[in-house]
Amino acid sequence: MSKMHLKMTVNGAEVETLAEPRELLIHVLRERLNLTGPHIGCDTSHCGACTVDMNGKSVKACTVVAAQANGASITTIEGLGTPDALHVLQRMFREHHGLQCGFCTPGMITRAWRLLQENPNPTEEEVRFGMSGNLCRCTGYQNIVKSILAAAAEMNAVKEAAE
């Protein structure tokens, strides 16, 4: 079966690759672009381990075919911060023990990153609802919620200081 020429913006850079139309976006990212941050956990769009940002919205990359993503702008965990300049969410997840095995973490942080843009000052209940597309088997979510609330507080404090 012939491959198609995919063009996407991934983590701010224009990328091109060949892929079968049926390839799942998660496989294109992981196998062709070597972005192995997002993972595959359930295959059926329930767990959110594969969460990436597509055209400004959180999506589950296991349930998007490559052809659908042609032309899209994608952000993955790898695009959120650098080792020298971690995103505040990355720091807060560590600070508040918001992860254990780390397998859900890239999807979790990528989703939280979008959630805090949609709602910069969420309540605990709003965080729990907004994160309900991401499963974690290790943490019981309590410290994930804590990490996200702490990140929101810090981001808001920085914003206030700048204004």
Partner 1 sequence: MNDQSPTRDERIEKLKGLGASRRRVEDVRFTQGKGNYVDDIKMPGMLFGDFVRSPYAHARVVSVNKAAALALPGVVAVLTAEDLAPLGLHWMPTLAGDKQMVLADGKVLFQGQEVAFVVAKDRYTAADAVELIEVEYEDLPVVTDPFKALEPDAPVLREDLAGKTEGAHGHRRHHNHIFTWEMGDEAGTETALSEAEVVAEETVYYHRTHPCPLETCGCVASMDKVNGKLTVWGTFQAPHAVRTVASLISGIAEHNIRIISPDIGGGFGNKVGVYPGYICSIVASIVTGVPVKWVEDRMENLMSTAFARDYWMKGRISATKDGRITALDCHVTADHGAFDACADPTKFPAGFFNICTGSYDIPVAHLTVDGVYTNKAPGGVAYRCSFRVTEAAYFIERMIEVLAIKLGMDAADLRAKNFIRKDQFPYHSALGWEYDSGDYHTAWAKALEAVGYKSLRAEQAARVEAFKRGETRKLIGIGLCHFTEIVGAGPVKNCDILGLGMFDSCEIRIHPTGSAIARLGTISQGQGHATTFAQILASEIGLPADDITIEEGDTDTAPYGLGTYGSRSTPVAGAATAMAGRKIRAKAQMIAAYLLEVHDDDVEWDVDRFTVKGAPERFKTMKEIAFAAYHNAIPGLEPGLEAVSYYDPPNMTYPFGAYICVMEIDVDTGVWEIRQFYALDDCGTRINPMIIEGQVHGGVTEGLAIAMGQELAYDEIGNVKTGTLMDFFIPTAWETPHYITDFTETPSPHHPIGAKGVGESPNVGSVPAFSNAVQDAFRAFGHVHAHMPHDHWRIWTIAEGLGLHA
Partner 2 sequence: MIPGHFEYHRPTDVASALGILATHGDEARALAGGHSLIPMMKLRMAAVGHLVDLQAIPELRGIEVGPGRIRIGAMVTQADIIAHAGLTAAAPILAETALMIADPQVRNMGTIGGNVANGDPGNDMPALMQCLDASFELRGPEGARTVKARAFYESAYVTARSDDELLTAVSFAPTGGGYAYEKQKRKVGDYATAAAAVILTRAGATCASASIAMTNLADTPVWAEAAGAALVGTPVDAAAIKAAVAAMRAAISPTGDNRGPVAFKHHVAGAVLGHAIARAWSRA
The residues that touch partner 2, with contacts defined as CB under 8 A, are 1, 4, 20-22, 24, 43-46, 48, 51, 57-60, 63-65, 67-68, 70, 111, 115, 130-133
* Residue 102 makes contact with partner 1 by CB under 8 A: yes
Rank residues 9 and 95 by Cβ distance to partner 2 and give the closer one. 9
Rank residues 15 and 65 by Cβ distance to partner 2 and give the closer one. 65
* Residue 77 makes contact with partner 1 by CB under 8 A: yes
Whether 110 contacts 73, CB under 8 Å: no
* Whole-number Å distance between alpha carbons of 71 and 8: 5
Interaction mask 15-44, partner 1, x per CB under 8 A? -----x-xx---x--xx--xxxxxxxxxxx
**88 exposure class (CB count in 10 Å sphere: 0-12, 13-18, 19+):** buried
